[in-house]
């Protein structure tokens, strides 16, 4: 193996195919989009170079800013609601709940389902005579007839719930396998020392899970920025862009009916830049966070 | 020596086997794709001419059987011509065809939409002008207005095989039950809405989530306010203007309907399909939709099938729009690539295709015909379709849907503004200001 790695020629030859492929499908198109984003172009007629005009329009467009804000709200909700929930489930399952496999399967089902199916499912739940309104009627609100996906105030929260729900199982599985890979000796030692469930979680499991949590947070944030399918199915960004995200806006601006390839490319570049910046920022936050010195377990025992 | 040779032979033979499988696999796929003949180029070696044709009516589309039949008929009539068809899904096709036309990789013939959709193609010189191939006899066969949306700068660039128009589908069962006359004027419409609303019937079922559905209703009001000439001139940027008070009045009237509760309360949350459900269940009195809905309101699962009346949108007193003016027209058509090897042959095919498909589609209830004197069995046509034909037989003019007649970026401007107004984020005055941003 060392022999192969030291042979520069072999390294180059073996890496070349995937490097070419990577350039052809990712790097080159990004640079092409960056080029298009400086033009006014409808996809058919001649491109007109207009410099940074598209970006100026972009950042003064209330719809774009609104969609950017919505994407960020989804990202924050993912980190603050979805991940803690996943972590809690993973902790419960990994720390001796009967029927581990069963619960893992159940929570993982939404991840396997196609987003379109989930969208249709939740559209029925939010229907005027859907599950949610029937539930509210059963609770006593006889006139519960809200069209959840159609209200300016309710549409975004109504879209966020299934987005979070869909990937709870995914993050739970990441956490679960992370917990499983922690040596059992540590848990046993904690048990002998008399640590409670919560104490074990907060002092052992969660600190040791840090790398996995970092991965999950990155996935959740970048994934939220790229959300498209559920929003498309549930509200299509409506009503009046109340639940618009960057991707839904991009598609209708760039392709049908907008047909503005130049402006749409600027939007795509902005999205790429935003994802990349968030990724860098997250890396920074995780690196700079000082390692918390855990209180020795002794304290708890003497307190007890 | 022997020991190394055998695995080598084994590898070689398995490689050959793989290759053979791959090759036959490809061959099988190619044959089943239906190309068959080896003459891929126009006027190829075997004396057989080939035309490539892309369209959106693949299997599963209500139009697919009729399209396939007409193409097969043409091939039977012209044994020396081979039509090589490729089909696409509607939404994806809008991007696909654009990319291919601009990259000069479009087929000889392709389906497209009139108005703003094909205008960039024509402007870029990518579409064959058909005037030289259309005889006066050909033109006489067409119903008036059939060429309107494919005419650019006085030249005809495409032929259409069907028209559609929007109108008010009224459930006559409900109208009779509550003693409401079919509305002919705006005032009658308002009082009908009041009556239905008081009786717990949805007055007008619509979708706001799918922007073109509510847009269709706004455009109908605007047409009655502005009149066809003014509206067409404004949308084609040919003299008209959104400063005309008609558009502000139309916006106010749409908001009047919204505020009086004329629409289903979940309109912003549901798609067009879902908006059609109460219509078919006899819970909605009116449905403002394109003529293509005649099939579904008369379908077996519609409780009041056969009792729907199609009427033009009510007129507004003092406004310019006539009852004989409709929204819609011939928007689905066929274009010929300017770079085709045999323009005469392609034009001949397009003429045959549109004329025959016009008849087939009329018979099937998909579209209203664009060719006169179509020989069809009227007893097999749905009653509502016949009603539509009757309502439009004296039509004086058609103005195409705004989202087709306007060009892409203008469509977004219009639909975004309409969406905001319906959600009360813009006043009708602000909405019209937005419309004025559509550069003349």
pLDDT digits (tens, 9 = 90+) for B194-216: 999 999 999 999 999 999 999 99
Q: What is the mean pLDDT of residues B253-280?
A: 94
With CB atoms and an 8 Å threshold, state whether B269 touches A63. no
Look at the block and give the residue holding tokens 């399967």.
Answer: A105
How many Å lie between the alpha carbon of A4 and the closest alpha carbon of chain B?
24
Contact A236 B120 (CB under 8 A): no
Range list of β-strands (E), A118-187: none
Is the pLDDT at B434 greater than 60, yes or no? Answer: yes
A63, A156, A259, A263, best to mutate vs chain B, most B CBs in 10 Å: A259
B334 bridge partner residues? B111, B159
Q: What is the pLDDT of residues A276-286, one digit of tens each?
A: 999 999 989 88
Q: Let me know if residue B42 belongs to a domain.
A: no
Q: Is B78 part of the contact surface with chain A (CB cutoff 8 Å)? A: no
Q: What is the CATH number of the domain that holds B94?
A: 3.40.190.10
CB B248 within 8 A of CB B221: no
The listed range with the strongest mean pLDDT (A154-168, A186-200, B82-96) is A154-168
Q: Which residue has the tokens 């489930």?
A: A89
* Whether pLDDT at A237 is above 60: yes
Per-residue tokens: A25: 């499908």
Which pLDDT band holds residue A87 (cuts at 50, 70, 90)? very high
pLDDT for res B37: 35
The alpha carbon of residue B109 is apart from the nearest alpha carbon of chain A, in Å, by 17
**Residue at which a domain ends, from B360, B383, B406:** B383
Q: Is B20 on the interface with A (CB under 8 A)?
A: no
Contact B268 A239 (CB under 8 A): yes
Contact status of B126 with chain A (Cβ, < 8 Å): yes
In the structure, what pLDDT confidence band is assigned to residue A290 with cuts at 50, 70 and 90? low
Q: Tell me, what DSSP letter sits at residue B320?
A: S
Q: Are residues B352 and B204 in the same domain?
A: no
What value does the mean pLDDT take over residues A76-87? 95
A2: pLDDT strictly greater than 70: no
Q: Which residues of A touch B403 (CB under 8 A)?
A: 257
Facing residue for B120 by CB, picked from A45, A239, A258: A45
The answer to whether position B370 is within a domain reads yes
Q: Residue B145 — pLDDT band, cuts 50, 70, 90?
A: confident
Residues 6+ apart with CB under 8 A from B420: A240, A241, B426, B431, B434
Q: Classify each residue of B211-245 as buried b or exposed e, where b means 16 or more C-beta atoms within 10 Å of its C-beta.
A: bbbbbbbbbbbbbbbbbbebbbbbbbeeebebebe
Task: Report if residue B371 sits inside a domain.
Answer: yes
What pLDDT score does B386 carry? 87
Query: B419 and B344, same structural domain?
Result: no
pLDDT of amino acid B20: 44
Is residue B340 located within the same domain as residue B369?
yes
Of residues A44, A239, A253, nearest to B98 (C-beta): A44
pLDDT, residue B409, reads 87
Q: How would residue B43 be classed by pLDDT, with cut points 50, 70 and 90?
A: very low
* Residues B276 and B407 placed together within one structural domain of the fold: yes
* Average confidence score pLDDT of chain B: 87
Would the CB atoms of A252 and B412 count as touching at under 8 Å? yes
Which whole-number Å values give the CA distances from B322 to B227, B228, B237, B317, in the listed order?
7, 8, 22, 10
CA distance B54 to B335: 10
Residue A109 has pLDDT above 90, yes or no: yes
Considering its fold, how many domains does chain B have in total? 2
DSSP string, B90-138: HHHHHHHHHHHHHTT---SEEEEETTTTTHHHHHTT-B---GGG--HHH
Facing B409 at nearest CB: one of A152, A242, A260: A260
pLDDT band at B277 (very low <50, low <70, confident <90, very high): very high
Pairing of strands B308-311, B284-290: unpaired
Contact in structure between A175 and A87 (CB atoms under 8 Å): yes
Q: Do B407 and A253 touch (CB under 8 A)?
A: no
- Minimal C-alpha gap between B284 and chain A (Å): 16
> What pLDDT is recorded for position A13?
92
The pLDDT, as a whole number, for residue B38 is 34
Closest Cα in chain A to B418: A240
Residue A40's closest chain B neighbor by CA? B409
Domains assigned to chain A: 61-303 (1.10.3720.10)
CA-CA-CA-CA torsion for B243, B249, B253, B259, nearest 10 degrees?
Answer: 80
Mean pLDDT of B313-320: 95
Based on the fold, state whether residues B169 and B296 are members of the same structural domain. yes
The tokens 């044994």 sit on which residue?
Answer: B79
User: Is B35 inside any structural domain?
Assistant: no
Chain B residues 259-288 with a CB less than 8 Å from chain A: 265-270
Query: Is B24 inside any structural domain?
Result: no
Distance from CA of A85 to the nearest CA of B (A): 29
- Give the mean model confidence (pLDDT) for residues B48-55: 94
Between β-strands B325-336 and B158-171, what pairing exists: parallel, antiparallel or unpaired?
antiparallel
* C-beta atoms of B102 and A147 within 8 A: no
Domain assignment present for residue B14? The answer is no
Question: Does A147 sit within 8 Å of B265, measured CB to CB?
Answer: yes
Q: Which domain holds residue B323?
A: 165-327+394-436
If asked whether residues B197 and B285 sit together in one domain, one would say yes
Among B122, B268, B410, B417, the residue to mutate for chain A (most A Cβ within 10 A): B268
What are the chain B neighbours of A255 within 8 Å (beta carbons)?
A: 94-95
Bigger pLDDT: B281 vs B386: B281
State the pLDDT confidence band at B4, using cuts at 50, 70 and 90.
Answer: very low
Q: Are B231 and B322 in the same domain?
A: yes
Using a CB–CB cut-off of 8 Å, the residues of A that contact B are 42-46, 63, 126-128, 145, 147-152, 235-236, 238-242, 252-253, 255-260, 263
**How confident is the model at residue A98, as a pLDDT?**
84
Does the structure show a pLDDT above 90 at A37? yes
ipTM: 0.84
Answer yes or no: is pLDDT of B48 > 60: yes
Q: B31 in a domain, yes or no?
A: no
Average pLDDT over residues B4-15: 48
The answer to whether residues B117 and B134 belong to one domain is: yes
Least confident piece of the model among A23-37, A195-209, B303-317:
A195-209
CA distance A58 to chain B (A): 14
Nearest to B403 among A127, A257, A263 (CB): A257
Judgement on whether residues B303 and B363 belong to the same structural domain of the protein: no
Would you state the pLDDT for residue B11? 53
- Give the pLDDT confidence score for residue A30 in this predicted structure: 94
**Residue B170 or residue B11, greater confidence:** B170
pLDDT for A286 equals 85
Q: What is the spatial distance between Cα A256 and Cα A240, in angstroms, rounded to a whole number? A: 18
Q: What is the mean pLDDT of residues A281-293?
A: 73
| Claim to verify: residue B169 and residue B257 sit in the same structural domain | yes
**Which of B48-57, B109-118, B282-291, B381-390 has the least mean pLDDT?**
B381-390
- The DSSP secondary structure of A11-58, one letter per residue, reads HHHHHHHHHHHHIIIIIHHHHHHHHHTTEE--SSS--EE-TTHHHHHH
Interatomic CA distance for residues B277 and B148, integer angstroms:
34
Chain B residues lying within 8 Å of A241, measured CB to CB:
416, 419-420
B151 lies in the same domain as B71: yes
Q: Which chain B residue lies closest to A261 (C-alpha atoms)? A: B409
State the nearest Cα–Cα gap between A77 and chain B, in angstroms.
Answer: 23
Q: How far is B225 from chain A (nearest CA, A)?
A: 25
Question: Where residue B225 falls among pLDDT bands split at 50, 70, 90?
Answer: very high
Size of interface A-B (CB pairs under 8 A): 100
Nearest to B407 among A63, A235, A259 (CB): A259
pLDDT score, position A18? 94
Angle between helices A62-77 and A155-180 (to 10 degrees): 40
Q: Which residue has the higher pLDDT, B383 or A88?
A: A88
DSSP H helical segments within A181-260, as ranges? 184-192, 197-200, 206-208, 210-225, 229-234, 246-254
Domain end call among B343, B361, B383? B383
Q: What is the pLDDT of residue A289?
A: 60
pLDDT of residue B428: 97
Q: Which pLDDT band holds residue A20 (cuts at 50, 70, 90)?
A: very high
Mutate to test the interface with A, among B408, B417, B419 (most CBs of A within 10 A): B408
What pLDDT sits at residue A265? 96
From A167-176, B43-52, B393-402, the region with the lowest mean pLDDT: B43-52
- Asked if pLDDT for residue B18 goes beyond 70, the answer is no
According to the model, what pLDDT value does residue A292 have?
54
CA distance B416 to chain A (A): 7
Is residue B116 within 8 A of residue B402, CB to CB? The reply is no
Mean pLDDT across the stretch B115-140?
Answer: 93
CB B172 within 8 A of CB B383: no
| Mean pLDDT of the B338-356 span | 95
Per-state percent for chain B, helix, strand, coil, to nearest 5 = 50, 15, 35
A242 vs B423: CB contact, 8 Å cut-off?
yes
- Does B266 sit within 8 Å of A240, measured CB to CB? no
Q: How high is the pLDDT of residue B254? A: 97
Cβ contact, residue pair A150, B425, below 8 Å: no
Tell me, yes or no, whether B16 lies in a domain.
no
Q: What is the pLDDT of residues B19-42, one digit of tens each?
A: 444 444 343 333 333 333 333 444
Banded model confidence at residue B91, pLDDT cuts 50, 70, 90: confident
Compute the distance between CA of residue B386 and CA of residue B395 in angstroms, rounded to an integer. Answer: 15
Indicate if B289 and B262 belong to the same structural domain: yes
């Amino acid at each position: 193996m060392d022999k192969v790695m030291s042979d520069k020629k072999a390294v180059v030859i073996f890496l070349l195919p995937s490097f070419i492929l990577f350039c052809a499908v990712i790097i080159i198109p990004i640079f092409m989009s960056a080029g298009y984003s400086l033009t006014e172009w409808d996809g058919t007629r001649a491109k007109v170079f207009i410099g940074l005009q598209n970006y100026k329009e972009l950042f003064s467009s209330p719809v774009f800013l609104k969609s950017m804000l919505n994407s960020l709200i989804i990202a924050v909700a993912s980190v603050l609601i979805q991940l803690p929930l996943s972590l809690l489930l993973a902790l419960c399952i990994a720390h001796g709940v009967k029927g581990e496999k069963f619960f893992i399967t159940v929570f993982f089902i939404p991840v396997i389902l196609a987003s379109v199916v989930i969208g249709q499912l939740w559209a029925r739940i939010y229907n005027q005579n859907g599950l949610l309104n029937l539930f509210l009627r059963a609770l006593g609100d006889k006139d519960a007839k809200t069209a959840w996906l159609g209200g300016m105030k309710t549409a975004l929260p109504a879209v966020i719930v299934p987005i979070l729900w869909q990937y709870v199982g995914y993050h739970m599985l990441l956490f679960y396998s992370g917990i499983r890979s922690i040596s059992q000796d540590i848990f046993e030692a904690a048990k002998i020392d008399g640590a409670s469930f919560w104490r074990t979680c907060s002092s052992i499991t969660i600190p040791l899970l840090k790398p996995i949590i970092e991965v999950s947070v990155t996935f959740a944030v970048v994934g939220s920025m790229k959300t498209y399918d559920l929003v498309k199915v549930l509200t299509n960004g409506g009503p009046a862009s109340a639940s618009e995200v960057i991707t839904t806006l991009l598609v209708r601006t760039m392709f049908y009916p907008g047909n503005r390839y130049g402006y749409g490319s600027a939007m795509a570049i902005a999205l790429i830049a935003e994802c990349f910046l968030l990724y860098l920022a997250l890396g920074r936050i995780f690196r700079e966070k000082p390692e918390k010195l855990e209180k020795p377990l002794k304290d708890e025992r003497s307190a007890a | 020596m022997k020991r190394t040779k055998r695995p080598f032979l084994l590898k070689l033979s398995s490689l050959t086997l793989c290759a053979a499988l791959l090759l036959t696999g490809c061959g099988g796929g190619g044959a089943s794709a239906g190309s068959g003949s080896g003459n891929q180029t126009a006027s190829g070696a075997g004396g057989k001419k080939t035309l490539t044709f892309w369209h959106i009516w693949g299997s599963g589309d209500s139009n697919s059987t009729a399209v396939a039949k007409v193409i097969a008929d043409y091939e039977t009539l012209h044994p020396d011509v081979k039509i090589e068809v490729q089909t696409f899904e509607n939404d994806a096709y809008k991007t696909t065809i654009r990319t291919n036309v601009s990259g000069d990789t479009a087929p000889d013939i392709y389906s497209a939409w009139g108005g703003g959709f094909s205008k960039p193609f024509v402007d870029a010189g990518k579409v064959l002008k058909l005037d030289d191939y259309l005889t006066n006899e050909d033109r006489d066969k067409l119903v008036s207005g059939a060429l309107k949306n494919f005419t650019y700068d006085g030249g005809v660039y495409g032929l259409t095989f069907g028209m559609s128009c929007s109108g008010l589908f009224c459930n006559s069962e409900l109208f009779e039950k509550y003693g409401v006359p079919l509305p002919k004027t705006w005032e009658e419409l308002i009082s009908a809405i009041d009556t239905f609303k008081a009786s717990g019937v949805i007055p007008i079922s619509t979708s706001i989530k799918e922007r073109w559905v509510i847009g269709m209703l706004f455009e109908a009001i605007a047409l009655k306010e502005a009149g066809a000439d003014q509206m067409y001139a404004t949308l084609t940027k040919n003299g008209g203007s959104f400063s005309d008070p008609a558009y502000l009045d139309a916006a106010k009237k749409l908001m009047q309907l919204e505020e009086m509760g004329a629409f289903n309360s979940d309109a912003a949350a549901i798609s067009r399909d879902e908006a059609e459900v109460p219509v078919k269940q006899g819970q909605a009195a009116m449905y403002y939709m394109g003529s293509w809905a005649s099939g579904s309101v008369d379908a077996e699962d519609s409780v009041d099938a056969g009792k729907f009346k199609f009427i033009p949108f009510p007129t507004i007193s003092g406004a310019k729009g006539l009852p004989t003016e409709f929204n819609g027209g011939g928007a689905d058509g066929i274009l010929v690539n300017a770079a085709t090897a045999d323009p005469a042959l392609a034009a001949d095919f397009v003429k045959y295709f549109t004329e025959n498909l016009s008849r087939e589609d009329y018979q099937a209830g998909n579209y209203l015909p664009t060719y006169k004197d179509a020989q069809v069995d009227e007893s097999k046509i749905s009653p509502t379709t016949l009603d539509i034909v009757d309502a439009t037989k004296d039509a004086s003019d058609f103005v195409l849907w705004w989202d087709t007649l306007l060009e892409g970026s203008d469509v977004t401007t219009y639909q975004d503004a309409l969406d905001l107004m319906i959600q009360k984020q813009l006043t009708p005055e602000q909405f019209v200001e937005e419309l004025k941003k559509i550069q003349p």
